[in-house]
Structure 1
Amino acid sequence: MIVESIRERFGLAQRKISRCLGIARSTLRYKKKQNDDFQIVSEIKSIIQEYPNYGCQMIGLKLRQTRKINHKREE
Structure 2
Amino acid sequence: MTNESNTSQSHGRALLWSILVISAVANATTSALGLSVYISIGFGLLTLISGIALVGHHRRERAGSRN
Structure with greater proportional helix content = 2
